[in-house]
Structure 1
Amino acid sequence: MECSVDVFVGNSTIIDPEIYQLWVDGNSSHEAADILQQRGILQQWGANMDLLMSDVLDHYRTFHMLEKTLHTPLKSTAAGEWTFQMEADTQQLLIEKYYELDDVVVREVLGKKLSSRHRKDLDEVSEKTAISLRSCRRQFDNVKRIHKLVEEMPGHIVHNIQHNFLLSAELSKKYAAVVFVAVNRFETNKRKLQYLNFGDFYHCAHQMIVHWSSTASCHATSVRNQLETETEIETDLDVDRGFLHDLREVRILLDKEKEHKHLVCSQLKGRLTDKIYADMESSFKTHSRSLVSLAGNLNRSRELRSLFVDLVERCVEPLRQARWTSRDLRLFLDYYTPAGVQLFKSDSATALVWERYMKVISSCLVKIYHN
């Protein structure tokens, strides 16, 4: 009775990046071998299908044994717990590829609870995005793992992710955006928001992290709020509550609407087409009140959670109907914000709050205004 045994003996582990990518993408060993065959690897190496299948299976066994290590890369690296000996560059490649995210998959899970119930629905995500179910599950589990570890950590979210999972800055920023949206429970799945992609939310989340969070460099909170938060552990996953409280003061712009309109119109005359300028002039009250009212209500948790819905309903949709271009919107905001600052000249603290608010809102509006 004949018995066939494949034996591999070695010291330093060799990782084939192409096969590893196929594994990360969720392909089975047979699917991976078929893909490699279609890419012409048998002709390239003068091998047969049995040898290719044996090689793929050997790599897959290694990847499965390494997977537990990849769940805690910092701990495993610091403790020297990698199952196989390999170069530091190879370890970094394994980690980075394992935590790769597909934007279309992340968009589908963004804003949803990272629960077992939603994990069971990933077959629908897989069908919709044409990404394998195994890959969808890997990405979902990685997001959940990172969220659970860094949610309560003080300090900067991107740094915390980089440090604990040894990821690149760019990939850490992606995870930071997902965690920030989840922690603050932003609504992202309403029908009106379906046209927005992950890149839109990624951009907006990082604008808020940089400018609105508790660790943002330019605080405009009142002395009372500063004293209240001195003993709290700050993290840029939290929106600065003092800032949101102080935003109520910008409502004074509603009483200075005529002056505000005059300042903006005098600057935009000749910079916009006659049609858009006429619409801006006649609709200034509507556009301005939408932005100011939104600011004044953000201190309420419910209003903050519905920020993206409100931006689309109150700002994006009316401007689309009036056929503004992205350039028109950018020009309007470029002059609308400093005009408001000018009207707060006797109240420098509120002027700073207004600038801090509009810096993020302007950037987000221009990003999500797909026209």
Structure 2
Amino acid sequence: MEKTKILFDVFVSEPIPVNKVIYRSWLDGYSEKETAYSKDLSSNVHSLNNSNMIINTGNSVVTTPIPLVPGSSNMSVNSLVNTPIGVNSSLIQNIQSTQVSTGSMANSNSIVNKEPIHLLLGETEDQFRNFTLLQTALEHPKTLSSNSMFQIDIINKRLLIEGYYDFDESFMRELIGRKLTSGQRRDLDDTAEKLRIRLSSCERQFDNLKRISRLVFSDLKTSALDIIMNEFSLNRDLSRKYVRILFLCFHRIDLSKKRVQPLKTFGLIRLSEIVMSHWGDPLRSYTMELDIKLKEDVRDLKTYLTSQKDIPEKYWKLIKARYQTLTSSPKISSSTPSQAPTPVGLNTGGQLTPSSATGFSNPNSIQNSAANSTILLASSLVGEKLKNLESKFKPILKGILSIGSSLSDSKEFRNLFEDIAEKIIDPLKRIDLLINETDTFFILLRDVFVPESLGLHSLRHKDRIVHNWKSFLEGIRGVVVYIYNEI
């Protein structure tokens, strides 16, 4: 019996070096020459003694900076980190071995002006070539571990993947809430020119978002966070950012109107987090869809609260009575304006913070007792402001109910943030309510809601409706407090 020989090739290599500055430059769409001549690269080669060449002239040691081509002083490549980054060991050895044993300083300068840049350019070209070959694997990060062409250590693998899926906030602002179509991709050159971002970088970020959205939107029953972390090997923080962005894209939230233009990417991510936390499906975290029961209950409650004219009046009387109780409380009345506590859910910098009171960390933790509300209130209203709020209460309540009913209509839900600004924030600002006072108003609006006190005795699933109404108000409250001074 004839024996069969199996022939195969084996090659052994060290893990490929990854220079963070060169990689960032490749991601940003710069060329090899632009990268090699940039200050960021030369300043990050720590083996060059802070970008200086040490040259032995025979009698003394002269330190000369690595030259840059004329006109390159304004060229900048955004670095991922502030610490110096090493390059290929062969590059370092070649530069360190550059010596001038004899000759004039002119000859020394000649070598300095040519050799280091030549080596930097060669190293940059090598790494650009590697990144280009790795691009297909980076688009499907799960295959990166099985890539037989390159050996990559764990640290560099994480750097490559997360760097590839990182995004520019100004560019992402252009995509949030929009449908990601091939036609939109063809128009990216206009966006790139407007934002002064290289077209290749825009295309990479667009393709990344579209690739992730295709997987997430095709399986709405599975946690979007799990899909992104498992399929794209991204860390939890970056994955959560993509989940929030995709939520706004899934519902096509309109962010093109002038009123919501001041909202930046980070702010929109936080607003998306608030909405998902309070209005999302409580049984499935990090999903794109809103809670069906909440949508139904808030829509039905609009009918109940507007069925009789005296119901909004009863609602206001309950709120007014609570204001009067708080005003007479020693804990509230003894406070001066300078001692007024920060609104719940905000830190001193105006940023949202997880709080059991607002439910940002736990959407089901809603405080119902008057005692807890008294402790949490930022300020109370008396005199003219209370009268002004009374005059605006009905239109504000009507606006809140209108927004609640829009949850069941995908077309109307697209205008969520604009509606909140026009129907809630604007009326409150017209009566000069401060952000603390606005926060107080929503706490009372939530806490005093008792169906029997409003004459609503025929509610089906009363407990569920009460819970969902308060969850809905917490979402409105979180959005209003966050953007109150932004738009």
Same fold (TM over 0.5): yes
Distance in 2 of aligned mates of 1:273 and 1:22: 59
Tell which has more relative contact order, 1 or 2 (C-alpha 8 A, sep 6+): 1
Distance in 1 of aligned mates of 2:40 and 2:251: 47
Distance in 2 of aligned mates of 1:57 and 1:332: 61
- Which one has the largest radius of gyration? 2
Cα contact 2:223–2:287 (8 A) shared by 1: yes
Task: From the superposition, tell whether residues 358 and 29 of structure 1 become closer, same or farther in structure 2 (CA, over 3 Å).
Answer: same
* Corresponding residue for residue 319 of structure 1: 428
* Corresponding residue for residue 173 of structure 1: 240
Kindly state the Cα deviation for residue 87 of structure 1 after the two structures are TM-superposed: 1.0
Question: What number of residue pairs does the alignment pair up?
Answer: 345
Deviates more, 1:95-104 or 1:120-129: 120-129
Cα contact 1:19–1:59 (8 A) shared by 2: yes
Distance in 2 of aligned mates of 1:173 and 1:37: 30
Gaps of 5+ in 2: 1-11, 54-94, 96-115, 328-379
* Corresponding residue for residue 160 of structure 2: 94
TM-score, normalization by structure 1 = 0.84
Which of 363, 368, 371 matches 2:483? 368
* Corresponding residue for residue 224 of structure 1: none
Kindly state the Cα deviation for residue 273 of structure 1 after the two structures are TM-superposed: 6.5
User: Are 1:239 and 2:239 an aligned pair?
Assistant: no
Matching residue's letter, 2:320: C
* Corresponding residue for residue 172 of structure 2: 106
Moved over 4 A (4+): 341-346
Matching residue's letter, 1:28: S
Q: Secondary structure at the match of 2:449?
A: helix
User: Are 1:205 and 2:272 an aligned pair?
Assistant: yes
Kindly state the Cα deviation for residue 61 of structure 1 after the two structures are TM-superposed: 0.7
Matching residue's letter, 2:154: A
* Corresponding residue for residue 231 of structure 1: none
* Corresponding residue for residue 44 of structure 1: 51
Q: Secondary structure at the match of 2:448?
A: helix
Query: Cα deviations across residues 201-233 of structure 1 (Å, max 9, x unaligned)?
Result: 21222233333233x249xxxxxxxxxxxxxxx
Kindly state the Cα deviation for residue 82 of structure 1 after the two structures are TM-superposed: 5.5
Task: From the superposition, tell whether residues 297 and 64 of structure 1 become closer, same or farther in structure 2 (CA, over 3 Å).
Answer: closer
1:205-354 equivalences under 5 Å are: 205-214=272-281, 216-217=282-283, 236-251=287-302, 252-254=304-306, 255=308, 256-269=311-324, 270=327, 271-272=380-381, 274-341=383-450, 343=453, 347-354=462-469
Matching residue's letter, 2:226: H
Cα contact 1:66–1:82 (8 A) shared by 2: no
Kindly state the Cα deviation for residue 26 of structure 1 after the two structures are TM-superposed: 2.2
User: Are 1:161 and 2:228 an aligned pair?
Assistant: yes
Distance in 2 of aligned mates of 1:44 and 1:118: 43
Deviates more, 1:195-204 or 1:107-116: 195-204
Gaps of 5+ in 1: 1-8, 219-233
Deviates more, 1:52-61 or 1:14-23: 14-23
Q: Secondary structure at the match of 2:121?
A: helix
* Corresponding residue for residue 127 of structure 2: 59
Cα contact 1:250–1:296 (8 A) shared by 2: no
Distance in 2 of aligned mates of 1:276 and 1:64: 63
Kindly state the Cα deviation for residue 114 of structure 1 after the two structures are TM-superposed: 1.0
Kindly state the Cα deviation for residue 20 of structure 1 after the two structures are TM-superposed: 1.1
Percent identical across equivalent pairs? 28
Q: Secondary structure at the match of 1:84?
A: coil
